[in-house]
Structure 1
Amino acid sequence: MRRFEFAVNREHARAVNEIVADMRRLGALAIGAAVLLGLGTGYLIWLNHPWAYLLAVAFALGAVTALWVGLWTPRRSSIDKLYADGELVPAVISETHPSGVVLLALVDVAKPEATDPRYALVIRKVRDLPGHQKRAGERVPSVAVRTDRAPRQVGERWQSVSAMPIAWGTRDDAVIERARAAISEVEWRLLTDNLALADKVRRSSAKRLLLDPHQLPGDLGA
């Protein structure tokens, strides 16, 4: 796994890092849902009807899952940990809008225990991208943020994968350029050549498009 080390500017990251903000928001919502489901479980048990006990079991399972997400998310949303654990990946701007830009990234969605990598194109719409020109084709070095949305891992691929720009963790243009240079030209060219696929990725339910390993160039291929 290709990692990229740099000193994270926490003040800057807290102000612009949208993934950290999203994960903290998710944690708060999950805790709220766990409380409501817990209250619902108690009320159904209090009703003391056979059908109520069946619903209570479902509510209780939902409460446990929501509580797990609520407690697990804050640990995952540490800015330093996300950058330290994430793999350095290429992303390019595929579209620009008045409200932000769309990033198209190349990410290995296979889990560590998988026998082979499984590359996919993923997209993410971002509101702010300091340190970069907001134009199609702009190279945006990022780290992959991979998560599962359930307590137990299922399958050999991550359920949720996103790209977090290095620029969300530093104001230093030299750091961004160093990260850009650490990614091979083959990967950058692969993304640039497939910018037209961004719309197809956006329309997919998982917001990602698996690539045929036999059609990938160089060391990325089968």
Structure 2
Amino acid sequence: MLSQRGKAAIDGAMPLFSVTLGHAAIPNTHSIWESAVQCFEQILEAYDARAVLSGQDNLRSILQATFDEEVRGLLDADAQEAMGLLDDALDDATKARVLAQVVAGTVAVLERTTDFGRPADAERFRAEVRRFAESGHRGRLVETIEGSRVFGRCYASQQIRDVIVRAADDRHDSEGSAGWLEEEGESAIGWATELPSRNMGLPWGFTILALN
């Protein structure tokens, strides 16, 4: 179960997500990298870990641990430049998915770094990043966010928040998964019926090949 600090950390990142005509988005004035830096620092603050873990190197380690192998190669070279390339290639909904993965991955690692009320520690953080990168949770986190219909069909940022919480919390039992997929489908259908046909947006399941 995700801690209250974890939920508060995700809530703190939500102002960077918006919903326009049923599509999730992040501010056009921010690159994905700038948004990732801002979210990372806010999440550290929620875990009282900013004094110990603040810095781009630690953010890069989260990005390398969270994203799939194709993207990791770019991030290893230069995270900021790679995120700039992604900005040019991705639509608004997919940019929001990328940022959601950053938020969920950071929270997942910090939940373990500070579990049982222990203070943040740089060595333990690095160990948990490695553990997360090699764990099944990482794949389920990516799949939960990539497979969610919400980013292409949503009516409120609360839906985005719920997907991020689910991904970070690693609720992957089959019954729970069926329940949230059904809930997402109902929400998406409800939103679609309120829109004129020209605003229906991208097909469900759309994604960018490089992030699969």
TM-score normalised to the size of structure 2?
0.27
Structure number with higher helix proportion: 2
User: Which fold has the larger relative contact order, with Cα–Cα distance below 8 Å and residues 6 or more apart in sequence?
Assistant: 2
TM-score normalised to the size of structure 1?
0.26
Structure number with higher strand proportion: 1
- Larger Rg, first or second structure (1 or 2): 1
